[in-house]
């Protein structure tokens, strides 16, 4: 392969976690995590200094104690998601959100927009620098792990983050799959052995069922086939920390604690201490008053129980999907810092009816597995092969907002599927296709990955064109879609307008843009929004005015028409040149129209009620 000879530098493995990130390498000496014993775990936190420079990791956490608004943590929870999807979560965790391109969630730092991709890129950059200084060679390729449950948009956004950090992604690997590699489960296994990977970290949970096919079965390599996977991208140790603070707040005689970073940090420390003791406490000064926060093992168990129950429900779903019973499971592997909770160990062992597999450090397993995959890709290891599956079904919107699934959840990847259909109207020359991801039957419950326009179809009677859509998922779990009209042989144009993720152009633009440009983007975004809403308002108001004009006094109608004309002119000017209009002036004109149009709407409603009661 050309990729192997192209560069002599090693392919590193990166566990880009919600809470902690690690970088590892696998060379002649075997797989190992870089950064030493003490600081291998880099907190996935970035601090933005007033001079524009950025600080990553433990130092960022320290800087953030006094200026929390300049610190971003848990960017992985936001990556590839829209602002509206994340609004409730952001409000609960005190994060100031804004909208990026196509509604993507962005953070507001110092009045400027920072996308989660940029935050993750800082973390990747810091890990890369660490590896370069420790190994003494330049690093430009990496295997990066993602939760098995990440959808296409989240995977794409992770790739964008790597690109911003100057890293080429040799492969995106699911975290549980990486863990199975680190355990070298293939070599010790019997043919067809089934393994469950239970990964509970700071922000995400995954449960994955793998089948091991060792190389004795006539294969050249060991093979890890993912049979089923399920998870929750909003479930982890962070949630338990918040629940501990809530618990203290419910105590009638206790002090009122804010959901502040400091209280959460105390909760996290006591929670971790309880892995080895039955009681833990810590004193802090709040509002000049010294208070002692304490937690017992049994209190922690009851606080964590609902979260652990949710993880077990996911595990049962995985077994159901794969039609496998617990006695068929040969091993259960625990991964992620939160699996140190004694309740997790007890309940998972009980759920699967067996002892757990705990030989490796649950914090490092995923990074080690990623490094092993890196070694395989660079040609250093030939004894292992990975097979993965699709985490969520992929399909198309059909008539009436229903969906057709082309590729089902848990299909092994790479995968390909084709769907044939035709036009519904005579002379139709274009078709709009919406690609959706999810298990539900209706589009509104699934996630839209993008809208595709197949244009240039020669006019034919309805039902005659032979349209074909091909879905292709590569080994990274990234989707590409192609549409063709077969009968005419005309190469129809497929325009891809992704609803999520960054386009090639946007990612490279972001690369060179400073934070000042982000402000400019925000201004333009606002003007675009105003245009869209104003055009709709103008249409509604004009329609209503047409119907009830005679019932309104002439001076009011005249004033309303003047406002409508002013705003139409403003929209035209903005559409001709985005920068020529002042968003403040635009917004206040629109507010004027909003207020002035109340009467015409009221009148139109009264009119239509009268209309129906008479008719």
Residue partners of 87: CB distance under 8 A and separation at least 6: 97
Decide if 175 is catalytic.
Answer: yes
13 versus 203: smaller Cβ distance to ligand ADP: 203
Residue nearest to Mg ion (CB): 201
Structure tokens at 421: 């259909």
Long-range contacts of 586-591 (CB under 8 A, 24+ apart): 586/527, 586/530, 586/534, 587/526, 587/530, 589/563, 590/530, 590/533, 590/534, 590/537
Phi and psi, residue 267, nearest 5°: -55, -45
Among 116, 203, 214, 465, which residue interacts with ligand ADP (rule: CB under 6 A)? 203
What, of Mg ion, ligand ADP, none, does residue 448 touch, CB below 5 to 8 Å by kind? none
Q: Which of 311, 359, 348, 352 is nearest to 329 (CA)?
A: 352
Residues 612 and 174: their CA atoms lie apart, in Å, by: 59
**Shortest Å distance, C-beta 202 to Mg ion:** 7
The residue (of 44 and 393) whose beta carbon lies closer to Mg ion is 44
- Pairing type for strands 193-200 and 279-286 reads unpaired
Q: Is 543 helix (H, G, I), strand (E, B) or coil?
A: helix
| CB closer to ligand ADP out of 77 and 405 | 77
Q: Which does 541 bind (CB under 5 to 8 A by kind): ligand ADP, Mg ion, none?
A: none
Regarding beta strands 20-27 and 42-43, do their DSSP bridges make them parallel or antiparallel, or are they unpaired?
Answer: antiparallel
* Residue 272 makes contact with ligand ADP by CB under 6 A: yes
Task: Kindly name the residue from 118, 151, 152, 199 that is annotated as catalytic.
Answer: 199
Is residue 383 annotated as a catalytic residue, yes or no? no
Q: Which is nearer to Mg ion, 152 or 199 (CB)?
A: 199
Least Cα distance to 351 among 321, 304, 309 occurs for 309
Binding test (CB under 5 A) with Mg ion, winner from 10, 13, 17, 214: 17
- Measured CA to CA, the distance from residue 57 to residue 127 in angstroms comes to 10
485 binds, among Mg ion, ligand ADP, none (CB under 5 to 8 A by kind): none
Which of 197, 223, 266, 268 lies at the binding interface for ligand ADP (CB under 6 A)? 268
Find the shortest distance in angstroms from Cβ 274 to ligand ADP: 7
Q: Is 106 in the site for Mg ion (CB under 5 A)?
A: no
Tell me the closest approach of the beta carbon of residue 531 to Mg ion, in angstroms.
42
Annotated catalytic residue 506:
no
Using CB under 6 A as the binding rule, whether residue 347 contacts ligand ADP is answered as no
77 touches ligand ADP (CB under 6 A): no
Run of H or E including 60? helix 58-64
State the minimum distance, in angstroms, from the CB of residue 75 to Mg ion.
Answer: 14
- Contact between 201 and Mg ion by CB under 5 A: the answer reads yes
Other CB atoms within 10 A of residue 3 CB: 13
Q: Does 19 bind ligand ADP (CB under 6 A)?
A: yes
Q: Is residue 336 near ligand ADP by the rule CB under 6 A?
A: yes
* 371/446 with CB nearer ligand ADP: 371
- Using CB under 6 A as the binding rule, whether residue 237 contacts ligand ADP is answered as yes
Number of residues forming the site for ligand ADP (CB under 6 A): 21
Q: Assess contact for 100 and 106: CB atoms under 8 A.
A: yes
Instruction: Look up residue 604 and give its two tokens.
Output: 């139109």
Min dist CB 373 to Mg ion, Å, is 15
161 binds ligand ADP (CB under 6 A): no
Span of 154-162, 337-345, 501-509, 525-533 interacting with ligand ADP by CB under 6 A: 337-345
In DSSP terms, 24 is beta-bridged to 13, 33
Interface with ligand ADP includes 341 (CB under 6 A)? yes
As a whole number of angstroms, the distance between CA 312 and CA 198 comes to 9
Our finding on whether 13 is near Mg ion (CB under 5 A) is no
DSSP-derived pairing of the beta strands 447-455 and 431-437? antiparallel
Q: Rule CB under 6 A: say whether 337 interacts with ligand ADP.
A: yes
| Residue 127 to residue 38: CA distance in whole angstroms | 15
Is 338 near ligand ADP (CB under 6 A)? yes
Q: Give, as ranges, the residues between 362 and 381 that touch ligand ADP (CB under 6 A).
A: 363
> H or E stretch including 313?
helix 297-322
307-319 CB burial, b ≥16 within 10 A, e <16: bbeebbebbeebb
To the query of whether residue 432 is one of the catalytic residues in this protein, the response is no
* Alpha helices (H) along 434-553: 504-512, 515-548
Looking at 122, 152, 175, 206, which residue is catalytic?
A: 175
> What are the residues binding Mg ion (CB under 5 A)?
17, 201, 336
Q: Which residues are catalytic?
A: 15, 76, 175, 199
> What are the residues binding ligand ADP (CB under 6 A)?
17-20, 201-204, 236-238, 268, 271-272, 275, 336-338, 340-341, 363
């Amino acid at each position: 392969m050309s990729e192997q000879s192209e560069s002599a530098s090693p392919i590193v493995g990166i566990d880009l976690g919600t809470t902690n990130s690690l970088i590892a390498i696998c060379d002649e000496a075997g797989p190992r995590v870089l950064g030493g014993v003490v600081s291998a775990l880099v907190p996935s936190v970035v601090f933005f200094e007033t001079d524009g420079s950025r600080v990553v990791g433990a130092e960022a956490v320290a800087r953030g104690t006094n200026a929390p608004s300049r610190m971003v943590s848990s960017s992985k929870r936001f990556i590839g998601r829209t602002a509206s999807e994340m609004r409730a979560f952001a409000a609960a965790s005190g994060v100031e959100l804004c909208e990026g391109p196509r509604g993507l969630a962005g953070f507001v730092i110092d009045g400027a927009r920072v996308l989660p991709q940029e935050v993750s890129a800082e973390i990747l950059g810091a890990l890369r620098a660490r590896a370069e200084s420790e190994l003494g060679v330049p690093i430009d390729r990496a295997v990066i792990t993602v939760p098995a449950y990440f959808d296409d948009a989240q995977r794409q956004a992770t790739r964008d983050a790597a690109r911003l950090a100057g890293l080429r992604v040799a492969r995106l690997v699911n975290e549980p799959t990486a863990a199975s590699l680190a355990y070298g489960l293939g070599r010790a296994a019997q043919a067809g052995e089934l393994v469950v990977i239970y990964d509970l970290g700071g922000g995400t949970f995954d449960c994955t069922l793998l089948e091991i096919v060792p190389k004795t079965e006539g294969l050249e390599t060991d093979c890890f086939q993912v049979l089923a996977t399920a998870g929750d991208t909003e479930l982890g140790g962070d949630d338990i920390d918040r629940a501990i603070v809530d618990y203290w707040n419910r105590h009638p005689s206790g002090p009122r604690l804010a959901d502040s970073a400091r209280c959460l940090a105390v909760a996290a420390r006591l929670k971790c201490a309880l892995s080895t003791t039955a009681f833990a406490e810590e004193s802090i000064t709040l509002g000049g008053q010294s208070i002692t926060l304490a937690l017992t093992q049994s209190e922690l168990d009851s606080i964590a129980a609902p979260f652990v129950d949710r993880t077990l429900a996911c595990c049962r779903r995985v077994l159901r999907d794969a039609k496998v019973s617990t006695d068929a499971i040969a091993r259960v592997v625990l991964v992620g810092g939160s699996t140190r909770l004694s309740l997790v160990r007890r309940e998972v062992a009980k759920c699967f009816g067996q002892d757990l597999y705990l030989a490796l450090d649950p914090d490092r397993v995923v990074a080690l597995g990623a490094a092993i995959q890196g070694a395989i890709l660079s040609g250093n290891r030939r004894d292992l092969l990975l097979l993965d599956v699709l985490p969520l079904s992929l399909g198309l919107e059909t008539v009436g907002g229903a969906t057709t699934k082309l590729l089902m959840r848990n299909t092994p990847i790479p995968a390909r599927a084709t769907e044939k259909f035709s036009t519904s109207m005579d002379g139709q020359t274009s078709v709009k296709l919406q690609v959706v991801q999810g298990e539900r039957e209706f589009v509104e419950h699934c996630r839209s990955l993008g809208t595709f326009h197949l244009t240039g179809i020669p006019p034919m009677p309805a039902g005659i064109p032979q349209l074909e859509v091909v879905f292709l998922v590569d080994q990274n779990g990234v989707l590409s879609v192609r549409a063709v009209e077969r009968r005419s042989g005309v190469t129809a144009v497929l325009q891809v307008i992704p609803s999520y993720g960054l386009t090639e152009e946007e990612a490279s633009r972001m690369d060179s843009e400073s934070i000042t440009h982000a402000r400019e983007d925000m201004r333009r975004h606002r003007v675009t929004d105003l245009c869209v809403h104003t055009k709709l308002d103008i249409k509604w108001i004009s329609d209503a005015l047409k119907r009830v004009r005679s019932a309104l006094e002439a001076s009011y109608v005249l004033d309303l028409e003047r406002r409508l004309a002013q705003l139409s002119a403003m929209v035209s000017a903005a559409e001709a040149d985005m920068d020529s209009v002042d968003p403040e002036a635009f917004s206040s004109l629109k507010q004027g129209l909003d207020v002035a149009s109340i009467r015409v709407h009221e009148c139109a409603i009264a009119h239509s009620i009268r209309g129906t009661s008479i008719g």
